[in-house]
Chain A
Amino acid sequence: MRHIISILLENEPGALSRVVGLFSQRNFNIETLNVAPTEEPSLSRLTVTTVGDDRVIEQITKHLNKLIDVVKLVDLTEGNHIERELMLVKVKALGAARDEVKRTADIFRAQIVDVTPSVYTVQITGDGGKLDAFVQAMAPIGILEVARTGVSGIARGDKLLSL
């Protein structure tokens, strides 16, 4: 099963490489990885999506917790949560395809954020599934480039991941 693990990490040099190294060292898989500072300057928040059975996920969370730089973590998939990813897609936009791209973008509530005579750059947010669907829909028209941020997530309601 796919899991989304969010981690508060000390904002220290080498901390990220310890997390990433752990996954390769122990043969755990990383599907997406997203990391950025938080409102608290000493902490980064890192979100990783991974796939594994219960035993593997238990090992992943235990080993992550063991890293000295990991302050706290939560497996968001254990409860209700919001999952978002942002994607920028460059598509060929020539002739009839220009309208087709625009229409499809509207259906997905995506925005065209940059335009040239031959290319549209579309921005779309949503969960991974929605982004995949958008890529599929655009594929016949001609995708030139895709940039995805990887999943970020947060628990619903009062639950917090904080110090």
Chain B
Amino acid sequence: MELLSGADMIARFLKDEGVERIYGYPGGAALHIYDALFRQDSVQHILVRHEQAATHAADGYARASGKPGVVLVTSGPGATNAVTGIATAYMDSIPMVVLCGQVASHLIGEDAFQETDIVGVTRPVVKHSFSIKHPSEIPEVLKKAFYLAATGRPGPVVVDIPKDMTAPTERYEYVYPKKVKIRSYNPVTRGHTGQIKKAVEMMLKARRPVFYTGGGIVTGRASEALTDLVQRLGFPITTTLMGIGGYPQGDRQSLGWLGMHGSYEANMAMHHADLIIAIGARFDDRVTNNTSKFCPTAKIVHVDIDPSSISKTVRADVPIVGAAGSVINEMISLLQARESAAPEALAEWWQSIDGWRAEREGKLYEPSKPGEALKPQEVIEAVYRATRGEAFVTTDVGQHQMFAAQYYKFAKPNRFITSGGLGTMGFGFPAAMGVKLSYPQDDVVCFTGEGSFQMMMQELSTCKQFGAGVKIVNLNNQSLGMVRQWQDLNYKSRHAHSYMESLPDFAKLIEAYGFTALKVETHEELAPALERAFADTNELVFLDIYVDPFEHVYPMQVPLGSMRDMLLSKTERT
């Protein structure tokens, strides 16, 4: 029997759980835990420079690896600084465990120094939360936290740990709980066979079917099964922003992603479909546009592990609650040796789709001419080529995020890492750091904007300390581009506070941390800068690329319209 203090139990549990790395920042209420971390060497602690970055870094790691990211912060301001990152993970269903120090139990409720009811503050943005009431319950509570974070529909779990629970003098028996049971939590995995059969029959009869798949394919590790299913049926597929990479984007059946800035052909296909097979997607407002005009002729099959996602915004005709992979595999086995009952209709459907594709071919944006400012789109395409499409790509939020999603083509899941649900500026750089520290052999690119980068740029210091060689591609349009685009479209170009006046000299800033920065202002400078930037995978390089500040992201769905109501450029509209 082993007697350990609460703090030592935490360190020991992390090791036993197989956690290699955690992200955090110390403070009074967490100091017993920090001392325990100091006295071990199984778990590496990455000291960030702001707690929000700890959550984004852990989140980036979780998105790349599929395993829970782990964060450790102190009470009060440490915990409240983490809230944005917790909410970011929650909106995108990312597994994360956040350990928060808390004031000692006898002080709780007294407005003690650095006391915040963090369980209360985070309640709407966590999958679940725990408060430790006795040191002896630490192993079991932590196991529950990891179990909840990573199973079913994943999400962040907060564990609040009053300081006295980790006191070095209080020792209790430690046993690593291999398994836990929570009687009220039994996530379904297998879908209802009757419903799946019904869905398969509809698929076989469909004349204009479309697969619409989301983040559930990525978190559910179902992309191989999905690819198999989609290719057997020969149907077109579009993914959400979160589902990018769930199906190889270079394949002919892939229509790219859909929604507000989705591809013309994806949105057109959705609008005209007679059957939509939604898997691991949640029909959110950035996808559906006006739900009352959404896909007027389509029947909807909706597969999701979370019953509350089904028929939330759009009524499903065939709801199937289950894990994406399991349901898809069952569909495949039911399909064995059966073929579409409407092959001619399907061929006609592909003709329409190819027609839509051809309509926009070569018209997506106007490349810059020599002497003109670079277009952000062409920069993304150049980075795509420079990394052979194999990098992990994180983004911040804004125009550059949409361009990255549109012009970097992903063949694999877990490679495109973006804050889709919350749209958190500041996410990209720390997320890239979290990915890079766990995947040192890979290129990790963060596409950012000069607005977003300034929200989390203090993490340059963390990258320096821990040698995280991320490539930061700053698409510098000298403005809060996405805000400005909306102001151009909806406010007669009144640019209220969408400028970034008094930008720093990014090159000097980066150099102050001892890193390389390359400023790119012309076409001619781009290729050599990229070559230099990607020469050494482990070197942090910052590319400050000046791009056309007047560029807009298109297509863009027209507010309150249907899926097919889109602006296609500054002058064209469907």
Interface residues, chain A, with chain B CB atoms under 8 Å away: 10, 13-14, 17-18, 21, 25, 55, 58-59, 62-63, 65-66, 68-72, 163
Q: Which of B165-184 contact A (CB under 8 A)?
A: 182-184
Q: How far is the CA of A58 from the CA of B311 in the complex (A)?
A: 9
CB distance from B106 to the nearest CB of A (A): 16
Q: A58-B311, A62-B307 are in contact. Are A68 and B128 (CB under 8 A)?
A: yes
B166-206 vs A, CB cutoff 8 Å, 1 = contact: the mask equals: 00000000000000001111000000000000000000000
Residue B308 at the chain A interface, CB threshold 8 Å? yes
A13 closest partner in B (C-beta): B131
The 8 Å CB contact of A69, one of B120, B184, B311, is B184
> Which residue on chain B has the smallest CB distance to residue A68?
B128
- A14-B131, A17-B123, A18-B123 known; A68 vs B307 contact (CB < 8 Å): no
B311 adjacent to A63 (CB under 8 Å)? no
List the interface of chain B (C-beta within 8 A of A): 119-120, 123-124, 127-129, 131, 133, 148, 182-185, 306-308, 310-312, 315
Which residues from A are CB-within-8-Å of B148? 68
9 residue pairs A–B, Cβ–Cβ below 8 Å: A13-B133, A14-B123, A18-B123, A21-B124, A59-B312, A65-B307, A68-B127, A70-B184, A163-B183
A45 to chain B, nearest CB (A): 14
**Bound-complex Cα distance A46 to B182 (A):** 20
How distant is the Cα of A25 from the Cα of B308 in the complex, in angstroms? Answer: 15
Q: Which residue of A lies closest to B182 (CB)?
A: A68
Given contacts A69-B184, A70-B184, contact A59 B308 (CB under 8 A): yes
From known contacts A14-B129, A14-B131, A21-B123, infer whether A68 and B185 are also in contact, taking CB-CB under 8 Å. Answer: yes
- Nearest first, the 5 closest Cβ-Cβ pairs linking A and B are A62-B308, A71-B184, A68-B128, A25-B124, A62-B307
Given contacts A68-B128, A68-B185, A71-B183, contact A55 B311 (CB under 8 A): yes
- The residues of B that contact A63 with a CB separation of less than 8 Å are 308
Could you tell me if B183 and A66 are in contact, using CB atoms closer than 8 angstroms?
Answer: no
Task: Give chain B nearest CB distance to A151 CB in angstroms.
Answer: 23
> Complex: how many Å from CA A9 to CA B128?
14
Q: Assess A66 versus B311: contact at CB under 8 Å? Given A10-B184, A14-B119, A71-B183.
A: no
Assembly CA distance A49 to B226 (angstroms): 42
A163–B184 alpha-carbon span in the complex (Å): 10
CA distance A69 to B126 in the complex (A): 13
- Whether the pair A68, B123 counts as a contact (CB closer than 8 A) is no
Complex Cα spacing A66 to B185, Å: 8
CB-CB nearest in chain B for A18: B123
Which A residue sits closest to B131, measured CB to CB? A13
Q: How far is the CB of B123 from chain A (nearest CB, A)?
A: 5
Name the residue on A nearest B123 (C-beta).
Answer: A21
Question: B182 — which chain A residues lie within 8 A by C-beta?
Answer: 68
Contacts of B315 in A (CB 8 A): 55
Task: From B120, B183, B184, give the contact of A17 (CB < 8 A).
Answer: B120
Chain B contacts for A17, CB-based, 8 A: 120, 123
Q: Closest CB-CB distance, B140 to chain A, in whole Å?
A: 14
Chain B, Cβ-Cβ closest to A10:
B184
Q: Tell whether, in the assembled complex, residue A66 and residue B123 are in contact, meaning their CB atoms are under 8 Å apart.
A: no
- Do residues A66 and B306 form an inter-chain contact, with CB atoms below 8 A? yes
A21 partner residues in chain B, CB cutoff 8 A: 123-124
Q: B465 to chain A: closest CB distance in Å?
A: 37
Question: Which residues of the partner chain A approach B123 to less than 8 Å between Cβ atoms?
Answer: 14, 17-18, 21
Distance (whole angstroms) from the CB of B492 to the closest CB of chain A: 33
Which residues of chain A are within 8 angstroms of B131 by Cβ–Cβ distance?
13-14
Q: How far is the CB of B420 from chain A (nearest CB, A)?
A: 20
Contacts of B184 in A (CB 8 A): 10, 68-72
